[in-house]
Amino acid sequence: MTCEGCSNAVSRVLNKLGGVEFDIDLPNKKVCINSEHSVDLLLETLEKTGKAVSYLGPK
């Protein structure tokens, strides 16, 4: 994520998924997500933005 457009795309796909609380840290290019969905489903959802995604582990 390098711009507000990228963060808007992330917000859009996560809000569409539902049941997700998240915080976007644009300067550090990170999204902190609190959800009962599986990590695989969250990663798959975030990949829909066309951006590279990776799981850094629990907070």
Q: What is the pLDDT of residue 2?
A: 79
Average pLDDT score over the chain: 92
What are the DSSP calls for 36-49, one per residue? SS-HHHHHHHHHTT
Confidence (pTM): 0.87
Asked whether the predicted pLDDT for residue 1 surpasses 90, the reply is: no
Asked whether the predicted pLDDT for residue 49 surpasses 80, the reply is: yes
- Tens of pLDDT along 2-47? 788 989 999 999 999 999 999 999 999 999 999 999 999 999 999 9
What is the spatial distance between Cα 2 and Cα 59, in angstroms, rounded to a whole number? 22
Q: Please, what are the domains in the chain?
A: 4-47 (3.30.70.100)
Give CA angle at 52 (48, 56), nearest 5°.
Answer: 110
Q: Which two three-digit tokens encode residue 5?
A: 């457009």
- Note whether 51 and 6 are within 8 A (CB): yes
Q: What is the pLDDT of residue 55?
A: 94
